[in-house]
Amino acid sequence: MPSKIHYEKYANWRPFWKKLKRKKNDQIYNVVNVSIEEFTATTNYLRNRLPFELTTPKVAIICGSGLGQLADVIENKVEFAYEEIPGFVSSTVQGHVGKLIFGLLGDKKTPTVCMAGRFHFYEGYTLQQVTFPVRIFKILGVEVLIVTNANGAINKDFKVGTIGVINDHISLPGLAGSNPLFGPNLSAFGTRFPPIFDAYDYNLREIAFKAAESLKFPKGTLKEAIYAFYAGPSFETRAEARFLKSMGSDLVGMSTVPEVIVARHCGIRVLGFSLVTCMLSIAKVKCADPAEQDLNYVEEPQVNHEEVLQVGKERASDMQKLVGTIVDLIA
């Protein structure tokens, strides 16, 4: 926790600090009406603890389940535990380290900020809390957000280990809760009704495939995909998976879309990756009615979070190389 000296040094921040600070066992609070001054106060808190070369990162990376090792390739690191940062909440899910890491990435030493672990709607946080860091990135000067996740596939064309390059998403109110822009519009960041039809930047997607080619990844390692946001924290039922597939979804996960919407509202360009860690069943459940039973029915294995984390570890090296190369190409 901050010392007495710290509080005296930043006494003028106290009104913002008190409003943003959360109690350990009271993580639910309404940040819909957070002002630009409060976002600025959090940004200044970080900048005052960073060397000058890291105060204006150009790229931000959000790491999904098991993908926190992306931060291992960042040099000259300065790390902040989420609990130390005013306005941030805690990451409570296995596979999410819970650190904000600043440093230099790639051969061109691009100033970068990385979330080693993210926040989720299903952890009990509001979508405004989940996306709070994205607006901090905007004030810091971030121009490109690379958001990653580890998820299940419902399209048989995708295999475990495939890296989905997200080109569109589906988010239904009944499945994923409300939009993170719900409430008074923060006009300092963007318009009341931002267009999301081009949420995933075409040029960045092109660069992603060029990077994969330069790294000599096998053909098909990267594959464009439509991503469906599902609230969680349970994995989808078979009927839900079939429903989402019928709408055109290739992959299903419990994150990413809220951050992307807020990033686009802020004018940040987005590149999204979804690592396929499991295949979701779309087969109908076994019928208990003897008259309707399928004698050839084969039970499919159940999905589990440990499988998700394991595949993330196995593909960590490829993801590190890919993201580092992309950042160099962007720079």
Segment 117-126, tens digit of pLDDT: 888 888 888 8
Least confident interval from 47-56, 273-282, 303-312: 303-312
User: What number is the average pLDDT over the span 306-329?
Assistant: 79
Judge contact between 277 and 252, C-beta under 8 A.
no
Judge contact between 97 and 116, C-beta under 8 A.
yes
Structure token pair of residue 142: 């971030």
Span 24-58, pLDDT tens digits: 334 333 344 667 888 988 999 999 999 999 999 99
pLDDT at 23: 42
Span 137-188, pLDDT tens digits: 999 999 999 999 888 899 989 988 899 999 999 987 555 567 899 888 999 9
Least confident interval from 204-213, 274-283, 286-295: 286-295
Identify the CA nearest to 32 among candidates 137, 128, 100.
128
Least confident interval from 191-195, 214-218, 289-293: 289-293
Average per-residue pLDDT for the chain:
83
- Binned at pLDDT 50, 70 and 90, residue 192 comes out as very high
Query: Would you say the C-alpha torsion 217, 147, 263, 171 has a positive or negative sign?
Result: positive
CB proximity list for 279: less than 8 A, separation 6 or greater = 152, 153, 154, 156, 158, 159, 160
- Binned at pLDDT 50, 70 and 90, residue 309 comes out as low
Give yes or no for residue 10 having a pLDDT over 50: no
CA distance linking residue 147 with residue 263, whole number of Å? 10
Neighbours of 184 (CB within 10 A): 10
Residue type, 170: I
- Binned at pLDDT 50, 70 and 90, residue 272 comes out as very high
pLDDT at 173: 59
pLDDT at 125: 84
Judge contact between 44 and 82, C-beta under 8 A.
no
Give yes or no for residue 317 having a pLDDT over 60: yes
Structure token pair of residue 121: 């709607």
Complete domains list, the chain, with CATH: 26-286+298-330 (3.40.50.1580)
CA distance linking residue 262 with residue 248, whole number of Å? 23
Query: How many CA atoms lie within 13 Å of 264's alpha carbon, on the beta-carbon side?
Result: 23
Percentage of residues of the chain with pLDDT beyond 70: 79
Judge contact between 88 and 98, C-beta under 8 A.
no
Residues composing the chain: 331
CA distance linking residue 190 with residue 53, whole number of Å? 27
User: What number is the average pLDDT over the span 60-88?
Assistant: 86
Judge contact between 165 and 256, C-beta under 8 A.
no
Three-state helix/strand/coil letters over the chain: CCCHHHHHHCHHHHHHHHHHCCECCECCCCCCCCCHHHHHHHHHHHHCCCCHHHCCCCEEEECCCCCHHHHHHCEEEEEEEHHHCCCCCCCCCCCCCCEEEEEEECCCCEEEEEEECCCCHHHCCCHHHHHHHHHHHHHHCCCEEEEEEEEEECCCCCCCCCEEEEEEEEECHHHHCCCCCCCCCCCCCCCCCCCCCCCCCHHHHHHHHHHHHHCCCCCCCEEEEEEEECCCCCCCCHHHHHHHHHCCCCEEECCCHHHHHHHHHHCCEEEEEEEEEEECCCCCCCCCCCCCCCCCCCCCCCCCHHHHHHHHHHCHHHHHHHHHHHHHHHC
Give yes or no for residue 302 having a pLDDT over 70: no
pTM for the model: 0.84
pLDDT at 4: 46
pLDDT at 206: 97
pLDDT at 279: 85
Q: Are strands 222-229 and 75-81 parallel, antiparallel or unpaired?
A: unpaired
Judge contact between 236 and 252, C-beta under 8 A.
yes
User: What number is the average pLDDT over the span 100-121?
Assistant: 92
pLDDT at 71: 80
pLDDT at 308: 59
Span 11-26, pLDDT tens digits: 455 445 455 544 433 4
